[in-house]
Amino acid sequence: MHLLQHLRSCRLWLFLSLGLGASAYGQPVSELLPSANGLALKVWVFHPPQQPSDTQRPVVVALHGCGGMYATVGSRKGQLSARHQGMTDLLLARGYSVVWPDSLTPRQETSLCEQRMASRQVRQSHRRSDVHTTLAWLAQQAWTDQQRVALLGWSHGGSAVLASSDSTQKLPPSSVTPDIALAFYPGCADALRRAYQPTWPVHMLLGALDDWTPAEPCVALAEKAGMSFKLYPDSHHGFDNPVGQVQHLPRVPNGQHPGMGVHAGRNPVTGPQAWQDVLDLLKTRWPVPIAH
């Protein structure tokens, strides 16, 4: 079964790389959630097919990176990016609902990637607020299985996983708390300096060649805070992107070597492995039947 699932994830990667990656599960529903400082937080909600609307199911709250949720070029422009849609479809096929909070466009931003850290107007405190606003909203939904909620974030969204789960920070009370949190290549240096301690189990998926958010601080954080992680060899930042190739991004100012840019792009071996690892971790945590 593990091999079959791995082949399915690889097949999805091939499908997306050919530019055919429209979701097989219909259009999402958008919701506006009242949030801090009068902000209306926009979330996109995807439900698995052929399930009654009030059937309780596991939910994955997915957190985009510094480039936002959406594809900016090509036939997918304005829709979820290939990586975001691909993972969403894998989760939907296994009976999970997926909720994407959009932390950028309600704040009049489209990308933070080429902004210096000190000048960013969207900070991790905002991402933490968005996560907990979404969790509070999920607590009110009849379809939420409140015992089976996960966070899943990439890069800046992976850092948001850390920020929203930090027991050293004051967190709002909620009847819904994540059962597990998964972070692809987060920035860990700040959490390491703050003596971060996770409120719930956190697992990190790290690229050994990442020069944007390097793995070393995350490995140190995991060892200090009792977290789990997996280090993927020969893998740059964004190694799980199902489309594109590794590129040098000279305009990104924040990285291991400031002023020299960073590298990001897919690894066709470790990317599908990491996606399968996500599915396996969730299945181990939530033993539910796989939809066919």
CB neighbour list of residue 37: distance below 8 Å, 6 or more residues apart: none
Tens-digit pLDDT profile for residues 206-223: 999 999 999 999 999 999
23, pLDDT greater than 70: no
- Distance between CA atoms of residues 20 and 75, nearest Å: 9
pTM, entire model: 0.91
The structural domains of the chain, ordered by start, are 2-111+121-285 (3.40.50.1820)
CB neighbour list of residue 47: distance below 8 Å, 6 or more residues apart: 25, 29, 53, 92, 97, 143
156, pLDDT greater than 70: yes
> 3 versus 237: which is more confidently predicted?
237
37, pLDDT greater than 80: no
pLDDT band at 47 (very low <50, low <70, confident <90, very high): very high
pLDDT band at 26 (very low <50, low <70, confident <90, very high): low
> 55 versus 215: which is more confidently predicted?
215
Q: What pairs with residue 184 in β-bridges? A: 154, 205
Residues in the chain: 292
Tens-digit pLDDT profile for residues 170-211: 777 777 899 999 999 999 999 999 889 999 999 999 999 999
Note the pLDDT of residue 123: 92
Q: Could you give the C-alpha distances from 89 to 21, 196, 233, 282, in angstroms and in order?
A: 10, 32, 26, 15
The mean pLDDT value for 75-97 works out to 90
